[in-house]
Amino acid sequence: MLDNPDDFNLHKRSNYGHAIKRKKVFQMFDDQTIELSLPNIIGYERIAMGCIDSFASNVGFRKERIEDLKTAVAEACINAMQHGNKDQPDERVIVNMTFANGSFNISVIDKGQGIPEPLPNDPNIERIVADLDPPTGFGLFLIKRLVDQVEFNEINIKGHGVRMVFNLS
């Protein structure tokens, strides 16, 4: 049992043999805001998924909507790890979750340069199935369809990222 949840740290070796720096994994600012600092390693997006699942359940989101939240957050984290932080194991992905006025505002932030404008076209499923196009671009495609509002290339002091809004109703 943790004496103080703010002291929860994650320390292990990555799958690549790199030591992961000991850093706080989450911080709760108040009862409506949680911030996660994830290692830049595929698989750690599941921590964000679990956190948003619990948080959304506590504030009354329907199970179907929680699945949308988890999928969008996972896709944003994976994109941040692969494209924003370019798979660099010493970088972090920051996930900030705030619930207020019946909406979740979720930001996923990396150290990258953001998504080039204009945004890539949606994947052409027929062309992918026919092996005419590579099976890429599904992350942004899913995010745009699962959220109520999305902003790409949000810039703040921590980096570039995506901000997603999910309404309770």
Residue-range domains of the chain with CATH:
21-167 (3.30.565.10)
What rounded mean pLDDT belongs to the chain? 83
Prediction pTM value? 0.79
Higher pLDDT, 23 or 31: 31
pLDDT per residue over 73-117, tens digit each? Answer: 999 999 999 999 999 989 999 999 999 999 999 999 999 888 877
> Mean of the pLDDT values across residues 23-31?
61
Which residues have CB under 8 Å from 134's CB, separation 6+?
128
- Burial status of residue 96 (CB atoms within 10 A of its CB: 0-12, 13-18, 19 or more): buried
Indicate if the pLDDT at residue 157 is higher than 50: yes
Indicate if the pLDDT at residue 17 is higher than 80: no
Q: What is the pLDDT of residue 114?
A: 82
